[in-house]
Amino acid sequence: MADADVIVIGAGLAGLVTATEAVARGASVIVVEQEGEQSIGGQAFWSLGGLFLVDSPEQRRLGIRDSHDLAWQDWTGSAGFDRADDAWPSRWAEAYVRFAATDKRAWLRRHGISFVPLVGWAERGDGRAEGHGNSVPRFHVAWGAGPGVVRPFVDLARRAQRDGRLRFAWRHRVDALETEAGRVTGVSGARLAADDAARGVATARDVVGHFRFGAGAIVIASGGIGGNLDLVRRAWPARLGTPPATMVRGVPEHVDGRMIGIAQQAGARLIHPDRMWHYVEGLRNWQPIWRDHGIRVLPGPSSMWFDAFGVRLPPPFLPGYDTLGTLRYLMQRNSPYSWFVLDQAIIRKEFALSGSEQNPDLVSRSLSATLRRVTSRTRAPAPVEAFKTHGADFVVAHDIDTLVAGMNRIGKATRLDPRAIEAAIRQRDRELANPFGKDFQIMAIRMARTGWAERLARTARPHPILDPAAGPLIAVRLNILTRKTLGGLETDLDARVLATDGAPIGGLFAVGEAAGFGGGGMHGYRALEGTFLGGCLFSGRVAGRAVA
């Protein structure tokens, strides 16, 4: 006997959207989650709240000319779809870009989600019109950051819970999908002991009982593998070089990929497990919440970038340009980490940190606090200054010799030569003497500053890094930070999970990261940013309507 019309496995953003869309269409829903109630919203809670929109009012007000055709060109150039298994992912990608260019913003606004008026230019690409990257700024940050994106769906779920249409089963770990005559009919697993650990902190796995729930539709919304470093290394593709021995985690440890394996045991088809999205600008959190907790730097274009051996990275491997290209470049050269070298003028203007907890002004929806942060003439944002003071990856000095001595103290790959670092900086600084020049990074900085928003909030005025007036000098050790699974369970355009023979498995659906954000990997090989939250929203919306 069915306990509900729909069971959703996972109380993250994709799961909440699925559940509330299904409830809105008359379905009864059980949301099963291995963590406690304090973890509602999942990974999305920790995010900056960036969303990919195309030809939005925010873009048009800033003079940014965008279009569906340009966005689709950028998406396909980045995705690089080249396998037979890309049939469903490419259809999902086409549907998602169309959604982002049409009713996505209006749908979000109906849920009370609004946006900071400055649009960010994330993932600027590899320098080719037909290649990877965003041709224009498209990164829209929601007021309230990640919690602001999650909150409307939490509120809808709570309302449905009060009305008796939705039930949360907290601390219920799914261990198996129940099947009957080739159809998935329910879930079973262990009830875990209550644990009131703070959000993100690892919880106990003590089993106090067991459960089984039945339903007409089961939706997997359990996330990817980014918190499981062993699985990340196992899936690491040869094209990205040798996986680093040391990485920091960009997501909590319970993002462990268990349900993907359980779905495979029930006959589901996993595609593109080798496609993944990890960052090269990870900091070791000086106030960690989970083990190996990493925070990503969201850099502007001006920091000089060196590998672990002190060699400046060539274009297009510049801050904010080509995430996976830079990762591949570093790993193929056995550089386990890298360095930003900059000064106070650059960090003040260009450094932001990913994560809701690192952006209290956005979380509190304070326009005045946000304006004070981006227009300060002396200090970087308070969370950045805190990392500069307390973070294990920061070196601050007033001269090159002291700076490089600090880099050698916290680096492990090789001893850096202060004269070589100084020579590279001086070569770069000489390119600023007139408006001409051949340094690609200087040209990129000048181009960025043609945009009003970039000039105001994200790109420092070009200046010599060795100018004492812009000091002190700063070096930042950057670690590899795990984040997203781009492949996943193969699904059709109704989010139905497909079996190894290509046919839908009756009663089984998948959304969010577990489904590669749609189809088993709608991003292909690379992402354009703002598309992970968006993929959770879109796939949850599709599945919630389909299961109902």
CA proximity to 317, closest of 308, 300, 330, 336: 330
Instruction: With beta carbons less than 8 A apart as the criterion, state whether 513 and 485 touch.
Output: yes
- The span from the first CA to the last CA of the chain, in angstroms, equals 18
Q: Please state whether beta strands 394-397 and 473-485 pair in parallel, antiparallel, or not at all (unpaired).
A: antiparallel
- Yes or no: say if 262 and 246 are a contact pair by the CB < 8 Å rule: no
CB atoms within 10 A of CB 393: 25
Q: What phi-psi label fits residue 144: left (phi over 0), alpha (psi between -120 and 50 degrees) or beta?
A: left
Phi/psi of residue 368, each to 5°? -65, -40
**How many whole angstroms separate alpha carbon 542 and alpha carbon 536?**
10
Instruction: Please tell me the distance from the alpha carbon of residue 286 to that of residue 386, in angstroms, as a whole number.
Output: 9
Query: Strands, E, within 171-273: which ranges?
Result: 172-180, 183-192, 207-220, 248-249, 270-271
Residue 151 to residue 108: CA distance in whole angstroms: 12
Q: Is the dihedral of CA 52, 57, 60, 61 positive or negative?
A: negative
d(C-alpha 48, C-alpha 44), whole Å:
8
pLDDT at 375: 66
Is 487 in contact with 272 (CB distance < 8 Å)?
yes
Structure confidence at residue 89 (pLDDT): 98
Q: What are phi and psi of 37, to 5 degrees?
A: -60, -25
So what's the pLDDT on residue 378? 67
Q: What is the dihedral of CA 32, 36, 38, 42, to 10 degrees?
A: -50
285-287-291-294 Cα dihedral, nearest 10 degrees: -20
CA distance 214 to 2: 4
CA distances from 105 to 43, 145, 277, 382, 534 (A): 22, 16, 25, 31, 11
Please give the backbone phi and psi of residue 249, each rounded to the nearest 5 degrees, phi first.
-95, 125
d(CA 151, CA 360): 16
pLDDT score recorded for residue 402: 98
Question: 177: closest CA among 264, 256, 255?
Answer: 264
- Give CA–CA dist 489/515, Å, rounded: 5
Q: What is the pLDDT of residue 374?
A: 67
Burial 191-215 (b: 16+ CB within 10 A, else e): bbeebeeebbbebeeeeeeebebbb
**Which three-class secondary structure state does DSSP give residue 467?**
coil
Residue type, 470: A
> What span, in angstroms and rounded, lies between the C-alpha atoms of 8 and 24?
15
In DSSP terms, 211 is beta-bridged to 189
Per-residue pLDDT in tens (0 to 9) along the chain, 548 residues: 699 999 999 999 999 999 999 999 999 999 999 999 999 999 999 999 999 999 999 999 999 999 999 999 999 999 999 999 999 999 999 999 999 999 999 999 999 999 999 999 999 999 999 999 999 999 999 999 999 999 999 999 999 999 999 999 999 999 999 999 999 999 999 999 999 999 999 999 999 999 999 999 999 999 999 999 999 999 999 999 999 989 999 999 999 999 999 999 999 999 999 999 999 999 999 999 999 999 999 999 999 999 999 999 999 999 999 999 999 999 999 999 999 999 999 999 999 899 888 888 887 787 777 767 666 666 788 899 999 999 999 999 999 999 999 999 999 767 999 999 999 999 999 999 888 999 999 999 999 998 888 888 889 999 999 999 999 999 999 999 999 999 999 999 999 999 999 999 999 999 999 999 999 999 999 999 999 999 999 999 999 999 99
Name the pTM for this structure: 0.96
pLDDT at 376: 67
